[in-house]
Chains A and B, each alone.
Chain A
């Protein structure tokens, strides 16, 4: 059974870069699915950040595209998120998830537990 686990710093200073990694177990990241990042500010709704295929193909939310990079490390069965120039508005629970198929235009079938990242000096 696929399991996803987010890891990375829980506190990031304003203007710095947020970096998170999603470790996938029980399932090969090269099995053809897309993998995504979604965030949720405290008490608010969900926002898709972007998604990646093991081939390196990526799709990003247009509102975040200038600050986001998603990458994949197939040797470690992981994918990662970098968000630059963060502000307090980037404080959120960040989830990694697996899409439902080999396309990024699908639902999210499996989710990590999420990790709260706070942007504060």
Chain B
């Protein structure tokens, strides 16, 4: 099983700032098949980024993904108030697994 480790656990930032979230895999993610989700309290996760860097339908361009192999990054260029949430990475190159999440808080 590929274990995904997300860091930091919590990121304290202000609106307008840049957020950089890390997702590190215990082994190389085949095909760079890695996705990012956003989850707000009481809601289901929402797909943000697919295949490392492809934004899902309707996702604003302040969200971007990058990386390869074992190291992946989600960047939010300028935080909007609605971006404060928990973010999860998921790999689907070898079976399926999720990271433990990063909370972005004010």
A positions within 8 Å CB-CB of B: 45-48, 51, 59, 61-63, 95, 97, 100, 104-109, 111-114
Partner of A46 from B33, B56, B98 at Cβ < 8 Å: B98
- A114 neighbours in B (Cβ, 8 Å): 44
**For window 62-106 of chain B, which residues contact chain A by CB distance below 8 Å?**
88, 90, 92-93, 95-101
Quick check: is B11 within 8 A (CB to CB) of the other chain? no
Give Cα distance in the complex from A104 to B96, angstroms. 9
Q: Are A108 and B88 in contact (CB under 8 A)?
A: no
Q: Are A95 and B96 in contact (CB under 8 A)?
A: no
Give Cα distance in the complex from A38 to B37, angstroms. 13
Give Cα distance in the complex from A105 to B92, angstroms. 5
Q: Are B88 and A107 in contact (CB under 8 A)?
A: no
Give Cα distance in the complex from A112 to B44, angstroms. 7
Q: Is the interface of A mostly helix, strand, loop or mixed?
A: loop
Partner of A107 from B90, B97, B99, B101 at Cβ < 8 Å: B90
A108-B90, A112-B44 known; 4 other A-B pairs, CB under 8 Å?
A95-B45, A108-B35, A108-B45, A111-B46
A47 to chain B, nearest CB (A): 7
Quick check: is B19 within 8 A (CB to CB) of the other chain? no
B81 to chain A, nearest CB (A): 23
Q: Are A106 and B99 in contact (CB under 8 A)?
A: no
Quick check: is B1 within 8 A (CB to CB) of the other chain? yes
Give Cα distance in the complex from A108 to B88, angstroms. 12
7 contacts between A and B (CB under 8 A): A46-B98, A61-B95, A62-B95, A95-B44, A105-B95, A108-B47, A109-B47
Partner of B92 from A61, A62, A106 at Cβ < 8 Å: A106
Q: Are B101 and A45 in contact (CB under 8 A)?
A: yes
Closest to B51 in A: A107
Closest to A103 in B: B92
Give Cα distance in the complex from A49 to B49, angstroms. 21
A61 to chain B, nearest CB (A): 7
Give Cα distance in the complex from A118 to B47, angstroms. 27
Partner of B35 from A62, A107, A111 at Cβ < 8 Å: A107
